[in-house]
């Protein structure tokens, strides 16, 4: 189902069993909040996130009358699929009572979610929605709507500046709007620069993934420099990234699987973990060593070069890396 169709259903007759998946967690979370508001179930809902999911608990919840005499809203969020037999039973329980709702936010790969479509059939009073990343105009529209709802006066250009600063991350932008709302008067780009923390590190991560996937990188580097990053910080981040890929490679060879928490000490988002694991498997150890040695040479060159020429050296370094891969 398309988002426009789903928006209409939300206003008219919300499906009582929904599968959400796709590329933008903020939009999906917003839809889930809309369901909570529509059903007035904030006091009676049940959330089962990741390993908390239990078929027996979910079934028991949907089989009982709400303790508050209202709606039973079950929200499941996980990156693993629910077995079809269990899912079909839960959806049948939803169909048996007008007081039951089920929202399944599947955070695994979008391509893997297609097999869940048959369970969430409109014939069963259910449906599914894949959410795609919004374009710039759509994002600004959503943020403008958010700003209006919280009484924040901010124009189109200031919103564009906020998006640039936060690397187009709509969830972070929405959170910052809540903070900006405490300021008096119309919020300007200068206000944003003063109180909003840049997410340049996220942009650097994006740059490095694009670099090693041999995608265009000039625009991202320009944006990082606009955000105040310098050649040294970008170079250091690249060296750290190479070290992480080497650690991923070694861990995979020793254990035959991937676990970012065991490697780095903290759990990466599934999508980033998968991308780094793929890079680690595709890049040979001698290639990583060659890249690391190249970066050390470039670091020495940048330190002994006037600031006006450092940017060119950085571009040249990245072009050389893409030729080595």
**pLDDT tens-digit map of 246-292:** 999 999 989 888 888 888 887 776 777 888 888 888 888 888 889 88
Q: Which residue segment(s) compose the domain that 147 sits in? A: 136-197
Res 200: pLDDT? 52
Identify whether residues 178 and 265 lie together within a single domain. no
Identify whether residues 18 and 106 lie together within a single domain. yes
Average pLDDT, integer, range 29-57: 92
Phi and psi, residue 67, nearest 5°: -60, -25
DSSP 8-state secondary structure symbol assigned to residue 21? E
Residue 25 three-state SS: helix
State which of 197, 218, 240 marks the end of a domain: 197
C-alpha distances (whole Å) from 68 to each of 40, 45, 61, 96, 193 are 11, 10, 13, 19, 47
Identify whether residues 276 and 314 lie together within a single domain. yes
pLDDT (tens digit per residue) in 81-121: 999 999 999 999 999 998 999 999 999 888 899 999 999 99
Residue 129 three-state SS: strand
Cβ atoms of 38 and 73 closer than 8 Å: no
Question: What band does 56 get if pLDDT is binned at 50, 70 and 90?
Answer: very high
Beta strands across the sheet bearing 72-78: 46-49, 72-78, 100-106, 17-22, 126-131
Number of domains within the chain: 3
Write down the residue that tokens 């936060």 correspond to: 166
CATH of the domain at 163: 1.10.8
Identify whether residues 161 and 278 lie together within a single domain. no
Identify whether residues 249 and 307 lie together within a single domain. yes
Predicted confidence (pLDDT) at residue 165 exceeds the cutoff of 80: no
Identify whether residues 284 and 238 lie together within a single domain. yes
Cβ atoms of 134 and 142 closer than 8 Å: yes
Identify whether residues 40 and 105 lie together within a single domain. yes
Predicted confidence (pLDDT) at residue 192 exceeds the cutoff of 90: no
Question: What band does 31 get if pLDDT is binned at 50, 70 and 90?
Answer: very high
Identify whether residues 193 and 222 lie together within a single domain. no
If one compares 296 and 266, the residue with the highest pLDDT of the two is: 296
Identify whether residues 36 and 140 lie together within a single domain. no
Identify whether residues 38 and 79 lie together within a single domain. yes
State which of 144, 165, 197 marks the end of a domain: 197
Res 127: pLDDT? 95
CATH of the domain at 277: 1.20.272.10
Lowest mean pLDDT among 36-50, 165-179, 241-255: 165-179
State which of 131, 150, 181 marks the end of a domain: 131
């Amino acid at each position: 189902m398309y988002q426009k169709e789903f928006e209409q259903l939300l206003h008219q007759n919300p499906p009582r069993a929904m599968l959400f998946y796709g590329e933008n967690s903020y939009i999906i979370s917003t839809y889930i909040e809309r369901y909570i508001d529509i059903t007035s179930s904030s006091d009676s809902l049940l959330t089962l996130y990741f390993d908390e999911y239990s078929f027996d608990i979910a079934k028991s919840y949907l089989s009982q009358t709400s303790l508050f005499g209202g709606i039973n809203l079950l929200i499941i969020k996980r990156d693993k699929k629910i077995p079809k037999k269990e899912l079909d039973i839960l959806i049948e329980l939803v169909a048996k009572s007008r007081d039951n709702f089920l929202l399944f936010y599947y955070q695994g790969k979008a391509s893997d979610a297609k097999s869940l479509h048959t369970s969430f059939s409109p014939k069963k009073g259910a449906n599914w929605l894949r959410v795609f990343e919004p374009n710039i105009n759509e994002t600004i529209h959503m943020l403008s709507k958010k700003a209006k709802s919280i009484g924040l006066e901010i124009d189109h250009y200031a919103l564009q500046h906020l998006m640039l600063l936060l690397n187009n991350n709509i969830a972070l932008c929405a959170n910052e709007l809540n903070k900006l709302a405490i300021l008096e008067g119309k919020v300007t780009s200068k206000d944003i620069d003063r109180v909003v923390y840049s997410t340049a590190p996220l942009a650097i991560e994006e740059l490095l993934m694009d670099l090693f996937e041999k995608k265009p990188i000039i625009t991202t580097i320009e944006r990082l420099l606009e955000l105040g990053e310098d050649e040294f910080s970008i170079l250091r981040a690249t060296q750290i990234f190479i070290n992480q890929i080497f650690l991923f490679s070694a861990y995979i060879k020793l254990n035959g699987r991937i676990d970012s928490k065991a490697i780095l000490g903290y759990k990466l988002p599934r999508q980033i973990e998968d991308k780094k694991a793929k890079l680690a498997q595709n890049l040979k150890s001698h290639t990583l060593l060659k890249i690391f040695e190249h970066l050390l040479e470039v670091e020495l060159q940048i330190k002994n070069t006037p600031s006006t020429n450092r940017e060119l050296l950085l571009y040249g370094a990245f072009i050389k890396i893409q030729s080595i891969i």
